[in-house]
Structure 1
Amino acid sequence: MRQRAVKAVELMDDPDCDARRLQNTYRQFGVVNRALSGWRRLYVRELRPLMVAHKTPATLLDIGSGGGDLAHLLAGWARRDGLPLRVTGIDPDARATAYARGRPPKPGVEFRQAHSADLVREGGRFDFVISNHVLHHLSADELQQLLADSAALSTRKALHNDLRRSPAAYALFSAAALPFPHSYIRKDGLTSIRRSYTPAELAALAPPGWHVEATTAFHQVLALRRT
């Protein structure tokens, strides 16, 4: 835990991994993210106030959207609050995009197989750019590129929510993930914690204007705020 396990590989990233376990993993992510990732607090504190203040329909880009659960979750919260929000989820993995597109459709939510750099080249602009559990997958150079793309694509805020590496996080998730069988949730989740950054490591890599802040006991957000 003293150093990032930068060479550790998550099982679901293997193109030849078991398809049924992968499908179960995408499905179970919805439960895990709702319970543990802290996005309800981020939505209430960071996103909703700006959507209320600006009155106009907001746009949000979810980078590395995986199975699409967070995109659907955010769109649902906004709709219940009477706030128009259009969400675009992108992921370079064709399997994740196929799963997300196969979910029951939700108004204002779409998914693309793409990298953030693709949208920069297209001249894309969004009020909010977010990611969830993406940063720990990246090398230092890849992280810098993601942040540069996020700065280019966002007009109001960029929020990259990720795990914080610690022995406590590892031990507690090891126990908490036991009820998720026949998927990669537990094994890959533990690998993700080992690969994740400490706040000091993340702050050392953050360009000017970006700030590292705690969101939950075991999560942190790397944030760029323009308003």
Structure 2
Amino acid sequence: MDDPECDLPTLFRTYAQFPVINGIVAGWGITYRAEIRPRFTGTHHTLLDIGTGGGDVARALHRLARRDGVTLSVTAIDPDPRAAAYVRSLPTREGVTYRQCTSSELVSEGATFDFVVSNHVLHHLSAPELGAVLADSERLARRLVIHSDIRRTRLGYVLYGAVTAILFRRSFVREDGLISIRRSFLPSELRDILPRRWRVKSQPFFRTLSIFDAAESLRIVSAGGRRAPSMLSVLIPRASGAAGRAEAES
């Protein structure tokens, strides 16, 4: 899917299958109930979805909030023109807006949101890109950032390969998913590279959440804490070998 020359109909079929596969493995229902819903303080909030792809996570979070009586205005962004073309082909949903742009462009605009999330984005990024997205996320979020990603395990690799070989055909779901598992982080690796104001949380279905709580960050600063130094210098050695990393946690 990262290949700009990949087959477009196959890519669009992959986007169309994302609601199913993410509904099975991404765990956003759990994340919403544990991390997002408890931070609602009224009946209207805003959320940014970075790297939205086919937009399924943005729509799912909007739907979950609506069931709780909360209007969640969702902005879903992706710089890839192919993703933009796909979401333009979808039925319009009131409360969900798609934009072809980057998080840094929103920072330049002075935009802010109550919540900032991403799904399966971090492992795709180079070291400088990862550092930039983390910094942008802190600037864009008034309350909470959650970057949800795959946790690299041998068991997850085997199970994902077996299930997707049967259920998902004529798309990139299986091939790209297996590559993503190999490239993804272990919780310990994320703890080594994230700024100290971020925390790492493991979640069922081989998930890892990188979380920044704006309120908690203010408490740390008030108490004299400091952001971890030289974040990018720590990130660069780890990320430079990420694409070729094949070993996994048992």
Q: Same fold (TM over 0.5)?
A: yes
Residues 152 and 206, structure 2, Cα contact 8 Å, conserved in 1: yes
1:44 partnered with 2:33: yes
1:143 equivalent among 124, 127, 130: 130
The amino acid across from 2:186 in the alignment is T
1:226 paired residue number: 214
Aligned residues: 214
1:63 equivalent among 41, 50, 56: 50
Helix, strand or coil at the partner of 1:89: strand
Residues 19 and 57, structure 2, Cα contact 8 Å, conserved in 1: yes
Where in structure 2 are the equivalents of 1:181-196 lying within 5 Å? 181-196=169-184
1:8 paired residue number: none
Helix, strand or coil at the partner of 2:185: coil
In the TM superposition, residue 101 of structure 1 has moved relative to its aligned partner by: 2.3
Structure showing greater relative contact order (alpha-carbon pairs closer than 8 Å, 6 or more residues apart) = 1
**Structure 2 CA distance, aligned partners of 1:50 and 1:83?**
12
1:123 partnered with 2:110: yes
2:224 paired residue number: none
**Structure 1 CA distance, aligned partners of 2:39 and 2:205?**
25
1:91 paired residue number: 78
Helix, strand or coil at the partner of 1:177: helix
The amino acid across from 1:49 in the alignment is P
1:153 paired residue number: 140
The amino acid across from 1:70 in the alignment is V
1:75 equivalent among 59, 62, 72: 62
2:198 equivalent among 184, 206, 210: 210
Segment drifting more, 174-183 vs 138-147: 138-147
Backbone CA RMSD of aligned residues:
1.0
Residues 72 and 109, structure 1, Cα contact 8 Å, conserved in 2: yes
1:177 paired residue number: 164
Deviation string, structure 1 residues 125-144 (Cα, Å, up to 9, x no partner) = 00000000000001222211
**Structure 1 CA distance, aligned partners of 2:25 and 2:70?**
25
**Structure 2 CA distance, aligned partners of 1:99 and 1:221?**
27
Residues 138 and 214, structure 2, Cα contact 8 Å, conserved in 1: no
Helix, strand or coil at the partner of 1:15: coil
**Structure 2 CA distance, aligned partners of 1:146 and 1:49?**
25
In the TM superposition, residue 217 of structure 1 has moved relative to its aligned partner by: 3.5
**TM-score (ref. length: structure 1):** 0.92
In the TM superposition, residue 23 of structure 1 has moved relative to its aligned partner by: 0.8
**Structure 1 CA distance, aligned partners of 2:170 and 2:135?**
37
**Structure 2 CA distance, aligned partners of 1:143 and 1:17?**
24
Helix, strand or coil at the partner of 2:143: strand
Which runs of no fewer than 5 residues in structure 1 stay unpaired?
1-11
The amino acid across from 1:181 in the alignment is R
1:18 paired residue number: 7
Helix, strand or coil at the partner of 1:146: helix
1:4 paired residue number: none
